[in-house]
Every structure is written in C-alpha cells, then in structure tokens.
C-alpha cells in the first residue's frame, strides 16, 4: 500500500465510560472496523487508572481533566494504558478481523516528549509532545496494520511520560496531515458537546472559539472536555481537515459537534 496526501486518514480517539463497558467497547470497535479508509485508534483509560489507584490506596489528583503524575501514578498509568487497556483493545480488534497492533510513544520512537516544566502546578511525569514520527506511523499503515496507541510518550533518555490522550490524538493528526488528508474524531459516551450536561439532546452542532470561551466562562464546558476542545482547535490551525466530537455509539462525521475556527 502506498501513501499520499490525497488518501484519507481518520484518527479516532476513544475514552471515558466506553472503555470500561465490554458491550459498549465491542459495539464501538465494530463501527471502527467498518469505518472506511486508513485509521489510527488512540485510547484513554483514565477512569480505569483511577479505579486501580483506589484499589492500591493511591490518591488520584486531577487539574482541569489532567492527571498529576508522580512516580507511583506513572507506574499505574503505564500498567493500565500500555498494558491492560491497550492489549484488551488490540485483542478485541483482532477478533473482529482488524489487524491491529498496540503501541506507546516509546515503541519505534513514535512520539517523543519533554517533561512539563513546573510553573503554577507541578504535573510530575507528564509529557508535552515534541515530535511525532509520522514516517514510522505511515510505514505501519502501509503494511495494512491499524495502530492502537496508548497515551504514553518518552523523552528519548529512558523516561516514560504520561500524556493526555486528547493531546496525543491531536498531535498525531497534525503530524499525519503532512502526508494524508486527516480527519480527527473524538468519541466518548455523550452524543457531542452539550449546552446542558443533563440533556443529551442539547448537542452544540458547531463550536467556534468565541462560543467556546463563553461556554467555558459560564461553567457549561469544564473538566475533561477542555483539553479535548483545546486540542481540536490546535489541530485545525495546523492542517487537520475536520474535527468532530461525537458519541462512540455513532462514530459518524455527520453527527455530534463540529469544531470550527
């Protein structure tokens, strides 16, 4: 399989409750496998990491949807993201006839990052992405393999770093836009970005920077949705063709919330 910029590549990020429920995950993966064209799956797993932390009596600390990652928390997220969630997802895809392979940023030197500098908040072993090896990802795709990427990066000197999965999906989409026509789809348990968090019918069909700021100021958009939307705008500014936030139960570019500049 050759690759060129006219080829469509879809980066799909899945997270939230979808990963915790076997039936929901299986149904989502059915749609992912059936989705046309080349694709890459990026997954989260924060809830599973929080549950394991509770079992181990380790406190989980979050700031605006981002995990504070000390050495113990890094061990936990590495086990959960790079191990349990990633390999269960790969196995499920193989069972559905999709030749998937699981990766972290350290594998094949796919994604390097730098430890986030301490400013007002010390995030610990959290990585800010410095480079995505898009040629290596393209070579994987050219072999007919669907990459399944866990939200872990490395600094090139042996240190793993926890990296927000929404940020990873955006960075991968931007890098792959060098050689593909890229769409980015964020999937979770809700049908899109909601103007009323208690009403699943209140989907905001189009979200632009001005309205986003207003929703954020009023507390309507908060927590884990903030990095998702922030990264959506970054992706569009850097060459990604379209970004959609939608339900994992639809996985459709014609539903949910379309992010626009």
Residues in the chain: 261
Residue with tokens 């009323």: 196
With a cut of 90, say whether residue 1 has pLDDT above it: no
pLDDT tens digit sequence for 62-97: 887 678 999 999 999 999 999 999 999 999 999 999
- Helix or strand holding residue 24 (H, E): helix 22-34
Predicted pLDDT at 163 = 96
> In the structure encoding, which two tokens stand for residue 93, read together?
């895809």
Instruction: Flag whether pLDDT at 228 surpasses 90.
Output: no
Entry pTM: 0.94
Binned at pLDDT 50, 70 and 90, residue 197 comes out as confident
How many angstroms separate the CA atoms of 149 and 162, rounded? 13
**Phi and psi at residue 194, to the nearest 5°:** -105, 140
Structure-token pair, residue 7: 């080829």
Identify the burial level of 37 via C-beta atoms within 10 angstroms of its C-beta, where 0-12 means exposed, 13-18 middle and 19 or more buried.
exposed
| Per-domain boundaries in the chain | 8-259
Residue 128 burial (CB < 10 Å; 0-12/13-18/19+)? middle
- SS3 assignment, position 71: helix
The pLDDT value given to residue 114? 98
8-259: CATH architecture: 3-Layer(aba) Sandwich (3.40)
Predicted local confidence at residue 252, as pLDDT: 84
Angular region, 120: left φ>0, alpha ψ -120 to 50, beta rest: alpha
């Amino acid at each position: 399989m050759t690759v060129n910029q006219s080829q469509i590549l879809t980066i799909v990020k899945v997270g939230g409750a979808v990963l915790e429920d076997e039936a929901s995950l299986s149904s989502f993966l059915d749609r992912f496998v059936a989705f046309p064209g080349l694709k890459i799956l990026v997954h989260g797993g924060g809830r599973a990491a929080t549950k394991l932390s509770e079992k181990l009596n380790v406190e989980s600390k979050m700031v605006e949807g981002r995990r504070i990652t000390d050495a113990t928390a890094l061990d936990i997220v590495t086990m959960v993201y790079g191990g349990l969630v990633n390999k269960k997802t790969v196995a499920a895809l193989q069972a559905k006839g999709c030749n998937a392979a699981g990766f972290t940023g350290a594998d094949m030197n796919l994604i390097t990052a730098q430890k986030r500098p301490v400013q007002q908040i010390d995030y610990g072993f959290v990585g800010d992405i410095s480079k995505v090896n898009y040629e290596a990802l393209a070579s994987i795709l050219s072999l007919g393999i669907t990459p399944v990427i866990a939200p872990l990066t490395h600094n090139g000197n042996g240190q793993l770093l926890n990296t927000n999965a929404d940020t990873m999906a955006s960075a991968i989409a931007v890098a792959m836009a060098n050689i593909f026509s890229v769409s980015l789809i964020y999937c979770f348990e809700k049908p899109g970005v909601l103007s009323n968090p208690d009403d699943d019918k209140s989907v905001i069909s189009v979200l632009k920077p001005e309205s986003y700021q207003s929703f954020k100021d009023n507390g309507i958009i908060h927590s884990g949705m903030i990095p998702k939307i922030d990264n959506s705008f970054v992706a569009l500014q850097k060459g990604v063709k379209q970004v959609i936030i939608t339900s994992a139960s639809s996985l459709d570019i014609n539903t949910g919330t379309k992010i626009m500049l």
